[in-house]
Amino acid sequence: MSTIIIDGKDVSQRIREGLKAEVAELTAAGRTPGLAVVLVGEDPASQVYVGSKVRACEELGIYSQKWALPAETTQEELVELIHKLNADDRIHGILVQSPPPPHIDEEAVILNIDPRKDVDGFHPVNVAKLVLEEEDGFVPCTPLGCMELLKAYNIPTAGKHAVVIGRSMIVGKPMANLLVSKKANATVTIAHSRTADLPALCRTADIIVAAVGRPEMVKADFVKPGAVVLDVGINRIDDASRPRGYRIVGDVDYADVCDKCSAITPVPGGVGPMTIAMLMANTVKACRQLTC
């Protein structure tokens, strides 16, 4: 069996090219999409992610604001900024980079973002819209990117059994809702750390989505022959042979699993590139809805 390696870089680039044309059309009509990215503190990984998002905006012609706030910023100061951005007509999407410093209540921050500008899809209004399958809501970017990869590779979901490993509000639960929706028509099982005999459950799956945050946890004995495996994990593990002293791996043991799959996403280069592409897509969508 020949395994299809799902190329997230290629798919995301094609999506970005389409978005660039769409942004140019909106800008010509006086409706330039705008994204505000807020970073509290100096977490190195968060700084990299924010930089990638700002560069993507520049590439596509999206107006962007980057707010780099000191780690000692108070909850009240952050909420005040969010209210200012909610009222700014140039801004159609607001993203507060996660995780914030420990003294910031992240859930309270999300609640203060205008749901119409919540391009991360974390506000309860958008969570409800996802469950209710209302088209004007925003879906979290990573699971939305997973669905786009399945679509790009013509991987069927209707009538298939999908096992989602992980139950976070960022990936696991929205991923399950997307797969069980009337558009996808999959039968979905959500698995997690308390699931009994996880390998046996996964072997019943036609599609496995690994989003548990454990390096290379999914082994060959989790996968039935011909299954599709989407690896959402991004984990740093020590590797003295690498110049930086570490390497990036997913939640799936790629070398162990690859030959059993009909299709699989690598890490890096699989799901990861899709996340920022979907953030840009959500921002363009927000612009269209707010300026229609």
Catalytic residue numbers read 53, 97, 120
d(C-alpha 158, C-alpha 150), whole Å:
12
Residue 230's beta-bridge partner residues? 209
Residue 230: exposure state from Cβ atoms within 10 A (0-12, 13-18, ≥19):
buried
Cα 195-199-205 angle, rounded to 5 deg: 95
CA gap 132, 232 in Å, rounded: 25
Give the Cβ contact number of residue 220 at 10 Å: 15
Tokens linked to 164: 């989602």
Distance between first and last Cα of the chain: 49
Nearest to 163 by CA among 249, 223, 251: 223
Cite the beta strand spans of 26-181 per DSSP E: 34-40, 63-69, 93-96, 161-165
